[in-house]
Each structure stands twice: as structure tokens, then as C-alpha cells.
Chain A
Amino acid sequence: MKSVGIVGWGAYIPLYRIAVDEIAKMWGIDPFLAKALGMYEKAVGGLDEDAVTIGVEAAMNALQRAKIKPDSIGAVFFGTESKPYAVKPSATIVAEVLGITPNTMASDLEFACRAASEGLRAAFALVESGQIDYGLVIGADTAQANPGDVLELTASSGGAAFIVGPSSESVAILEGVFTFITDTPDFWRREGVPYPFHGEGFTGDPAYFHHIIGAVEGLMKKLGLSPNDFDYAIFHQPNGKFPLVVGKRLGFSREKIIPSLVTPYAGNTYNGSALLGFARVLENVAKPGDRILVAPFGSGAGSDAFSFIVTDKLEERKKLAPTVDDYLSNKKIISYSEYARMRQLIKIVR
């Protein structure tokens, strides 16, 4: 089997932000709750943005960094839970825009916030087995939340894309991966229902913590590693608090987790959440030789733990596209009414 890794990565966060305090004020949510969740602002996709357009932006940045020809990509996996079409792939649209068509695999994956993570596993396996040269994996969402639900404080728009390929061209080489899945109904959206529902307190211990801990402990056992062997740890970020708590339970210090935190400033971009954190660590702090843990989580429920070793190819690729921090600083604050209009919480009958 070939050795594989990350050849390119790209982020995208829309221009608009709403302050989480404004949402809390609008619906009479305890203002202390926003603070307890470690949240400041969340990103809002514009009226002409959806998961597909966000995915295209992120994928273009990833292609710029990977410096490969689009038609050398043999698989496009699009992880989202906000598909513009219930039936009709988003992945084909992205593949056509980027010039990857027609000789490629392409599909949309759904596993709440973890679909893109499983896409990564699949793409790595396809490259490892020699069936494709490169794979493009996108995690992008315009996350929905029932107005006034506590979820509305965090659910946001944004995405990240990763191109996987041979380790000889990689900025981070895959060292190992471990997956932990059970049937746990912590969060769901039924067919034809506009907003997801969640099992209140049930989303924490039996879901987020149980699965991430299961995946990360499994990975460390498999590779014979302990938290001290990792320089950075990136977890799924449903809010600003959970990643720090799960890290503490596993034995990772705050310093190893804080560089990855994007959700406090951009909200939870669902499939983009952990992957934007990974992108930010690659861009801001990672050095050749560092070992990085990436552990996305998806409700329903499951988690994958990946271990990567950073290479000396990282530095030259950073500047080839806008960074997560570039996007975080490029923002326009909007009111609740503007946000409600953009995300079509106010529906016009046309």
C-alpha cells in the first residue's frame, strides 16, 4: 500500500457575521449561555450562497495550494447536511465548475457533521490502493437551526476542502486512523422538515464525548501513542467549549487545542467545523515533524480520529490561497433581520 497524505487544503467563510448576543436577545435566551458556550459571532451565507457555492470556493483554494491539474482528481466527495437538492448530487456541480469532470467518482455523503470526515477516509483508501491519484473532499454547510433554539446561537455557514494524494507531495502524512460508530439519536432532521431537532442534554455525554473519546483512545492504542506525543489536537467544534472539555478528558492541554478554535468566531459550520480547525492549525502553528490529531464528530453518531505528521512542504503552500484567519478578519456585521432574510427564515411566497 502507498503512503498518503494531505496535498492541499482550502477554507471559505462567508462575509456576513451576526453577533451571538443579538440572537440571544432576539429570542430571550439567557445571555450567559452564549458566554458559557464560548461563542462571539457566527458566519452567515449571503442570499446567493449555499453549501455548493461555499464548497466551490473552498475547493478552489485547495486546488491552488495542491498545484495539481483538476482532471487528475479521481474522486469528489461532498459532505453536507444542507444539500441544495434533496436528490441530485452537489459533488457533480463542484466537479464541473473545477474542471474535474467527466472521469471521476463523485457523490454526496451524509452523516450529520461527520460526512466529510468519512469522505477523507474513503479518499485516502482509494489513493492508498492505487485506484486514483488524488481525491477531493469537501465539508460545507449552511447549517439550519429552528429560530430561538439554542442551536441557533452556533449553526453557521462555511466550509473546508482537502485534496489527498501521495505522501511524497503531502504537507501532512497520514499516520493512522480509527473510527468509532454507534446508533445514537442525539440530533436528526426528518425528511421534509426544515430544521433539525436534538436530544437536549443527550447531545453531550452519550454522543459527542463518548464517540470522540472512543475514536481517539482507539487510535492511540492502535499506534501506541499518548496525548503527549501530539503537538496539536483538533476536535469537532459544535461550540467553543466542547473541544476543550473533550480534550481535557482525554488528557490534551488547552494549548494544544486553542489554535484550532474557529467556531467562537465563525459558528459551527457542521461538516466544515473540525476541518476548518485543521486548516487553521496548518496555516498558523504547525511545523515540520509535528504530530496532529484530527477528530471530527457527527451526530447519529460517530467519530474518526486521524493522526498526521507535518512535512517541510507545508510552508510554501500556506501563502498560495487565503487562510482561515484571512476569512475571519474579512467580515461585515449584520442585524438579526438581515440574517433572517439571508437565511430565508422569513419566507416570501413567490
Chain B
Amino acid sequence: MVWKLSPVSVWRHRIPRYRLIGKECKKCGKHHYPPKLACPYCGSRDLKNIELPRSGIIETYTVIYEVGEEFRHKAPVVIGLVKLDDGTRVIAPITDVAEDELEIGLRVEATFRRIRDGDHFGVIGYGLSFRPIRTNVSKTSS
């Protein structure tokens, strides 16, 4: 049994999820993602939207075999902690990658993918995933 995704939730988070929009703290200058109401580093609420760099490295990752029903057709699911080129950390799926290609330090770039299928009757959750940078087809390395 797979639950429907909430249309309200998909709608509310669409801009950060579609465009990799994070927040910059006007007090301490640090970036964070996904956007929060207060800076996770200094607590300031004086924040502004910022388009984050689309490339970075895999800082660590995990390969999940025991996935929920919603993701069973995609197993195993690879989740990475990606450190973007400005230092911002993003937790996101890693895609178009074979398990033996995965390594800490691997350069990756953001790609727009179908992250959550939900059930067959509900909305689709699109968002960001990261893929290994393959130089000739990279949008960020040129």
C-alpha cells in the first residue's frame, strides 16, 4: 500500500525542489538547504533566497535496500550527502550511477528527476537528484 502524496506539500516545496533555491543568512553569511525559517548556524531569521551552485561532491552516501513500498521498484535507492561548491550540504538521491561507481569525493551535479511516484492516482513528486559529472554532457563543468 502506497499513500498518495499531498498536493499541498508538493506545491509548497516546489520552488526549492525544482530550482535548488536555498537561503543565505544575512547575519552570518552561511547558506542552507532546504530553506528554513531561521538560520541553522546562528538562529537569525534575516534570510534571503539564493540559487545554489548545481555541482559538488559526495561527502558520504548510503545504499538502501530495505525501502518502503513506494520505492520498491527503484531499489536499491542511493541517498547522498552532497557538499555543493559553496559548502552547502544537500541530502538527495544519487541517480544514473552504478554501485561500483559510488565513492566519497565523487563529483556530482544536480538533475531534475521524478523523485516520488506516490500511488497511481495521486500527484507526482518531482525534484532534485544528483548524478556523477560526465564531462562531455555536464551542464556545470564547462
A contacts, CB < 8 Å to B: 15, 46-50, 52-53, 56-57, 60-61, 64, 84-85, 93, 96-97, 99, 319-322, 326-327, 329-330, 332, 341, 344, 348, 350
B129 at interface by CB-CB < 8 Å: yes
Q: Which 3 A-B pairs have the closest CB atoms?
A: A48-B113, A326-B136, A97-B18
B19 touches A15 (CB 8 A): no
Closest chain-B Cβ to A144's Cβ sits at a distance in Å of 16
Find out whether the CB atom of B95 lies under 8 angstroms from the CB atom of A46: yes
B137 A330 Cβ-Cβ under 8 A: yes
Among B14, B69, B70, B111, max chain A CB count under 10 A is at B111
Question: Is B72 among interface residues, defined by CB-CB distance under 8 A?
Answer: yes
Query: B117 — nearest CB in chain A belongs to which residue?
Result: A350
Q: Is the CB of B129 within 8 A of A48?
A: yes
Given the complex of chains A and B, what is the CA–CA distance between A52 and B18 in angstroms?
A: 12
Complex Cα distance, B142 from A84, in Å, reads 32
Q: What is the chain B residue whose CB lies nearest that of A85? A: B124
How far does the alpha carbon of A56 sit from the alpha carbon of B70 in the complex, in Å?
Answer: 24
Contact status A46-B73, CB under 8 Å: no
Bound form: Cα–Cα A332–B96 in Å: 10
Known: A96-B18, A326-B136. A48 touches B72 (CB 8 A): no
How distant is A12 from chain B, measured CB to nearest CB, in Å?
9
CB distance from A162 to the nearest CB of B (A): 18
User: Contact between B73 and A47 (Cβ–Cβ < 8 Å)?
Assistant: yes
Cβ A321 vs Cβ B74 within 8 A: no
For window 86-128 of chain B, which residues contact chain A by CB distance below 8 Å? Answer: 93, 95-96, 98, 111-115, 119-120, 124, 126
The answer to whether A48 touches B124 (Cβ under 8 A) is: no
B93 / chain A contacts, CB cutoff of 8 Å: 48
Question: Which residue of chain A has the shortest Cβ distance to B98 in the bound complex?
Answer: A332
Query: Given A53-B126, A327-B137, A330-B137, A48 and B115 touching (CB < 8 A)?
Result: yes
> How far, in angstroms, from A320 to B142 measured CA to CA in the complex?
8
Contacts of B136 in A (CB 8 A): 322, 326, 329-330
A348 pairs with B113, CB closer than 8 A: no
A350 near B124 with CB under 8 A, answer no
A344 near B73 with CB under 8 A, answer: yes
Given A15-B96, A348-B72, A350-B70; A326-B114 close (CB under 8 Å): no
In the complex with contacts A46-B95, A97-B18, A84-B124 CB distance below 8 A: yes
Pairwise interchain contact A47-B74, C-beta atoms closer than 8 A: yes
Please give the distance in Å from B92's CB to the nearest CB on chain A. Answer: 11
Q: Which residues of B contact A321 (CB under 8 A)?
A: 139
Name which residue of chain B comes closest to A50, CB basis.
B114
B139/A350 in contact, CB under 8 A? no
Which among A56, A319, A350 has the highest number of chain B CB atoms within 10 Å? A350
The answer to whether B113 and A49 touch across the interface, beta carbons within 8 angstroms, is yes
